Chains A and B, each alone.
Chain A
Amino acid sequence: MSGILVVAEVRRGELRPVTLELIGAARALSEQGAGPVAVALIGADAERHAAAVGLAGVQDVLVVSTPQPQFEAHVTQAAVQALIERRRPALVLAGHTIDSLGFAPALAARGGLGFAGNVTGVQWSEAGLIAERGAYAEKLIAELDFPGKDTVVLLLRPGAFAQAEGAGDASVERVQLELDGAARTEHLELRDPPAGDVDITKADFLLSIGRGVEDEERVAELEALAALMGATLSASRPLVDAGWIESARQVGQSGRTVTPKVYLALGISGAVQHLAGMSKAQTIIAVNSDPEAPIFGVAQYGAVADLFEVAAELERQFA
C-alpha cells in the first residue's frame, strides 16, 4: 500500500479550487514518504482538466469517463472504489465538500477503509498517518490514527491547505471502467439562487449577525445600525433558516463567500461552514458572549460581550 490518490472535483465543466488544495496536501505528504501522487479526474469530459491538475509533484493523472455529464454520487463511489482496487493507495484525498459527502463515507464504510472527514491537518511518518479535525464544535482538535487500515480516505476541509502550483510533467492515462448502471439518482436540473436585491459580495463593510440575536423583533434594530455605520447587513445560516433574513444575505459555504475590507460579526459563533465564507475578509471583528466561540480563532479583534449592549454603544459612536 503506497501512494496517494487525489479525487479532483469538477462542477459545470469547471475544476473546483479545492482540488488544488488537495494536490498541495498530497505533495506535502508525498515528501514525508507517503508515496507518489495520482489525481483522478472523474466526469464526462474531465480530460480537459488534465493539464490543470498535472502539477509539479503529480506523477499520474487518471481520467475516468462517466456515462452522465453531472456528478452522481454512486457513480463516483464506484469509480473511486475501482481505482482503489487497481492502485492500492495508502491515502485517498477528497474535499470536505457537498459532492464528496455524498460518496466518500459510503465508499469507506463499504470497503472497510480508514476514514476521517473535515480534516484540517495531516502528517505522514514511519509510525503511520495522523489526521486532525475539530471536536466539540471546533472548540477542541481531535488527533486521529487509523490502526489496521491499508487505505485511508480523508476529506480535507476547503481552505485549510495551501494550493499546489507549478507546472509538472504528469503522465495522463485514460482508465476504462464499467460504470453503466452505477447511477442510482436521476439529475433533473441545477438551480441558481435568486439574485435578491442586495449583493453582499460587493460590500466593503459587512455587519453580520448570527444566532446570538435570538429574537426576530431585534433584526430591524441591527439593520438600522448597519445603515448608520455605512455597512451592509449579512447573516449566518440559522437566521436565514429561520426566515428572519433573506437568503441573498447569507454568508458561508451554502451562501456567499465574501471578502470585504471589514467584517463585523455580532453573535456569530463561527461554525466551520460560516468561516468558509468569510475568513478571507481583510479585517474581522467579532463580538460574542462565549469566549470559546470559534469565530475568535479567525478574527483579528474580538470582544466577549453582549451583542446588544455593544450595538447600543455603536449607535452612539456612529450617530
Chain B
Amino acid sequence: MKILVPVKVVASLDEDFALADDGTVPPEDLDWQLNEWDSFSLEAALQCNEGEDGEIVAVTVGDEQAHQGLLSCLAKGADRAIRIWDEALAGADALAIASVLAAVVREEQPQLILCGVQSSDAVESATGVALAGLCELAHVAVVTAIEREENELTVQRELEGGTVELMRVSLPCLLTVQTGINEPRYASLRAIKQAGAKPMRIAGLGELGLDRAAVSAHAGSRTLRLKEPAKGVGAALIDGGPPEIAARIAEIVKAAMNA
C-alpha cells in the first residue's frame, strides 16, 4: 500500500547558545537532526509494507537543513521524498504545517499516514492529529503496536501509567507512532550512497495549490518571543570534581534518608 511518512528535521540548541535581543536563536547555535520519533514511524512503514508491493513516501516541510534528513529516510528504504518550503513557513506552528501536509495528502491519496507522536524540540504532539483532522481521516494517537489484516488495523494505544488500549481502525487512517514500537534500522553505506539517486521532489506552496495567506490562516498560534526559564529556581550546583561530587551526594542521600 502507499504509506505517507511526514517527518521533521529538528533543531537542538548548542550547549553554549545565546538568545538574540529580539527573542530568537541565532542559526549558528542550532544543530539539525531527523526527529527521533520519525525514525520509528518510518520503520513502522517499512515493516507494514514488508513482503508486498507498495510505496513509502517521506515528506517534510523544511528548508535545506531538512535535505539530509530526507536523504536518510531514502537510504533506509523510503521510495521517494518530498520537501516543501517557502520562507514564510519559518517558525510556522503545528497547525500551519499540517495544512501544508494536507495538500500533499490530497495529491498523494495514501492509504496510511504514519507520523511520529511528537517532535523533540516543540513536544506539542499536534501535527499528526491536526493533519488527520484537516483530511477528515480516522486517527489514533500514541501507537505502540500495529497489526494489519487487509484493510483493518489492530493497534495498541499507549495510555498513562503503562496501560494500553487495543483497538481496531480501518484504512485509510493516520497513526502517530511512539518510540519503542520497533527497532529503527540503520542504512547501509551502499544505501546511503544510492539514496541520492531516488526521486526527491522539492516544491513551493504554489505547486501544491497553496499560498502564504491560506497557510497563515491555519496557524493556531504565533510565537511572540523566546525566553529563558526563570533563574533562581532549580538545582543548587555541586562544585568540584567527581570525588567531591560523590562525597556531597553521599551526604545528601544519608541526610534525606534519615530525615
- Using a CB–CB cutoff of 8 Å, the interface residues on chain A facing chain B are 11, 70, 73-74, 77, 96-99, 101-110, 112-118, 130-131, 133-147, 149, 152-153, 184-193, 204-205, 229-230, 237-238, 240-242, 247, 250, 253-257, 261-262, 264, 271-272, 282-283, 285-287, 290-292, 296-306, 309-310, 312-314, 316-318
Contacts and interface: CB of A to CB of B under 8 A. Distances in A.
Given A141-B228, A144-B222, A109 B246 contact: no
Contacts of B126: 101, 104-105, 108, 115, 117
Secondary structure of the A side of the interface? mixed
A114 B123 contact: no
A284 to B, nearest CB: 8
B165 A310 contact: no
Contact of A108 (B220, B223, B224, B243): B220
Given A109-B95, A109-B130, A190-B163, A297 B233 contact: yes
A298 B167 contact: no
Nearest to A96: B125
A101 B130 CA distance: 10
Secondary structure of the B side of the interface? mixed
A146 B95 CA distance: 12
A103 B229 contact: no
B138 A299 contact: no
Contacts of A272: 123
B173 to A, nearest CB: 8
Given A136-B13, A142-B223, A254-B160, 15 more contacts: A98-B141, A105-B128, A108-B130, A115-B93, A118-B122, A134-B122, A184-B139, A191-B165, A238-B179, A241-B180, A264-B253, A283-B252, A285-B252, A302-B238, A314-B250
Nearest to B117: A101
Interface in B216-259: 217-218, 220-229, 233-238, 241-243, 245-250, 252-253, 256-257, 259
Contact of B226 (A77, A140, A296): A140
Contacts of A73: 139-141
A237 B229 contact: no
A301 B235 contact: yes
Choose among A107, A143, A204 the residue with the greatest number of B CB atoms under 10 Å from its CB: A143
A136 B236 contact: no
Interface stretch (B64-72, B151-159, B191-199, B203-211): B151-159
B37 to A, nearest CB: 11
B250 A317 contact: yes
Contacts of A96: 125
Interface string B125-153: 11111111110101111100000000000
Contact of B256 (A140, A262, A297, A303): A262
